[in-house]
Amino acid sequence: MTYRVTLIPGDGTGPELTEATRRVLEATSVEFDWDVQHAGTDVMEQNGGNPLPEHVLDSIRANGTALKGPITTPIGGGFRSVNVTLRQVLGLYANLRPGRSIKGLQTRYEDVDLVIVRENTEDLYAGIEHMVGRDAAESIKIITREASERIARFAFEYAVANGRHKVTAVHKANIMKLSDGLFLESCRTVAADYDGRIEFEDRIVDNMCMQLVQKPELYDVLVLPNLYGDIVSDLVAGMVGGLGVAPGANIGLDAAVFEPVHGSAPKYAGLDKANPTAMILSGALMLRHLGYPTEAQRVEDAVRDVIAAGVATTYDLGGPAGTAAFADAIVARLEN
Ligand code: NAD
């Protein structure tokens, strides 16, 4: 079977990272028919000033799956983030960010194996803000039962499908008794359906951060509202080696977009310097999503082996190789 997947190269270092990932995925036995689509500032002029043309969205809707390189969001003025718009327009309500230690990578922690499930559509990111007079501003935090139960169910279903044993809901319900209280109550409601199969507990977000840096081995899958999810997932990314190795996925009912956590790192654009690991591991998440866990594991193992060998890695991992040579080494592992 051949999978038609939308491929968005992005900008900055995006095109070289996507190319490296495409080559690695093609070295597995899975066959892809790439539907290449461009988005971002580079295509605005041809599209009446629109950085996210409708045909890009149509392609993702039709194919159901996209692999996406990072896209630059100019600061101030300009356009709304293509990345945020994509998630909202396509209803990609779950942001999945696994954080797993990689052997051979120098970090303060060993054997971290956590999965962050972040709600992607509401909370303070609903963007409802206004000034109250000249000297005060209000941001409105939206938490609904529907979105909270949906993300909690996603976390439990992920745990079941991936052999994980526990889900921890993270909140600040002691202070925000209504909004975070509703998030926690929704998680408890959903947890009851998995009683006896998946353990459930909750933690207040500040305590969670302390516990993660002191004893990460106590935790497994974490489910969080949007803002805490944003912060805690970067904390976990830092524990396992930083942005260059942190993969991600945005998943909805009808479509899923796989992309690294990091941005377009424009200062390295075109220099064959950026680390392709995060993007390649995002590709492995896509393989799992498409129903190829064995191939996904092979890609993850090949990435880990090349990093552990330490001779074909990029500058940020202390190695001498460029993006393409790093990918070549992973391809060679897969082909042997
Ligand atoms: P960034 O992630 O691009 O870079 C932060 C730091 O990490 C830089 O020092 C960079 O050199 C380094 N880095 C990032 N990826 C790397 C890699 N693969 N290999 C080696 N080093 C890497 O973050 P930023 O500078 O804040 O953002 C740049 C642009 O990317 C901004 O316009 C931002 O809006 C956009 N962005 C896009 C996405 C996305 O497409 N999903 C996500 C985050 C940021």
Ligand 1 site-directed mutation target among 71, 230, 243, most atoms within 8 Å of CB: 243
29 and 289 Cβ atoms separated by less than 8 Å: no
**Residue 22 C-alpha to ligand 1 middle, in angstroms?**
20
Closest residue CA from atom 5 of ligand 1 = 265
Question: What's the average model confidence in pLDDT over 147-157?
Answer: 98
Percent of the chain at pLDDT exceeding 70: 99
- What is the pLDDT at residue 141? 97
Closest residue CA from atom 38 of ligand 1 = 263
**CA dist 179 → 149, 154, 175, 216, 249 (Å):** 13, 20, 9, 27, 26
**Residue 101 C-alpha to ligand 1 middle, in angstroms?**
21
63 and 254 Cβ atoms separated by less than 8 Å: no
Least confident of 105-109, 184-188, 204-208, 319-323: 105-109
Torsion angle, CA of 208/213/219/222, rounded to 10 degrees? 50
**Residue 133 C-alpha to ligand 1 middle, in angstroms?**
36
Torsion angle, CA of 144/263/251/79, rounded to 10 degrees? 60
- What is the pLDDT at residue 170? 98
Place 140 in a pLDDT band, splitting at 50, 70 and 90: very high
Cα–Cα–Cα angle for 40, 43, 44, nearest 5°?
Answer: 85
Distance CA 322, CA 241 (A): 18
Question: What's the average model confidence in pLDDT over 92-116?
Answer: 94
For residue range 214-238, list pLDDT tens digits in order: 999 999 999 999 999 999 999 999 9
258 and 66 Cβ atoms separated by less than 8 Å: yes
In ligand 1, which atom is closest to the CA atom of 260? Answer: 41
For residue range 67-97, list pLDDT tens digits in order: 999 999 877 666 678 888 899 899 999 999 9
Closest residue CA from atom 44 of ligand 1 = 263
- What is the pLDDT at residue 74? 75
- What is the pLDDT at residue 336? 85
- What is the pLDDT at residue 76? 64
- What is the pLDDT at residue 128? 87
Which contacts of 202-210 are long-range, i.e. CB under 8 A and separated by 24 or more positions? 202/168, 202/169, 202/170, 202/171, 203/168, 203/169, 203/170, 203/171, 204/170, 204/171, 204/172, 204/173, 204/174, 205/170, 205/171, 205/172, 205/232, 206/172, 208/168, 208/170, 208/232, 209/235
Question: What's the average model confidence in pLDDT over 88-107?
Answer: 93
For residue range 236-292, list pLDDT tens digits in order: 999 999 989 999 999 999 999 999 999 999 999 999 999 999 999 999 999 999 999
- What is the pLDDT at residue 135? 98
**Is ligand 1 within 6 A of the CB of residue 244?**
yes
Q: Which residues are catalytic?
A: 125, 172, 206, 230
254 and 90 Cβ atoms separated by less than 8 Å: yes
- What is the pLDDT at residue 203? 98
**Is ligand 1 within 6 A of the CB of residue 18?**
no
**CA dist 75 → 13, 72, 78, 79, 157 (Å):** 18, 9, 7, 9, 37
Percent of the chain at pLDDT exceeding 90: 87
29 and 295 Cβ atoms separated by less than 8 Å: yes
- What is the pLDDT at residue 1? 87
Instruction: Please give the structure tokens belonging to residue 152.
Output: 């909690």
**Residue 296 C-alpha to ligand 1 middle, in angstroms?**
25
**Residue 265 C-alpha to ligand 1 middle, in angstroms?**
4
**Is ligand 1 within 6 A of the CB of residue 265?**
yes
Instruction: Please give the structure tokens belonging to residue 173.
Output: 């319900």
- What is the pLDDT at residue 48? 79
For residue range 11-64, list pLDDT tens digits in order: 999 999 999 999 999 999 899 999 999 998 888 878 778 889 999 999 999 999
**Is ligand 1 within 6 A of the CB of residue 170?**
no
In ligand 1, which atom is closest to the CA atom of 82? Answer: 40
Buried b (16+ CB within 10 A) or exposed e, 310-334: eebbbebbebebbbebbbbbbbebb
Phi-psi region of 282 (alpha: psi -120 to 50; beta: other; left: phi over 0): alpha
Contacts of 267 (CB under 8 A, 6+ apart): none
**Is ligand 1 within 6 A of the CB of residue 262?**
yes
Closest residue CA from atom 8 of ligand 1 = 265
**Residue 259 C-alpha to ligand 1 middle, in angstroms?**
12
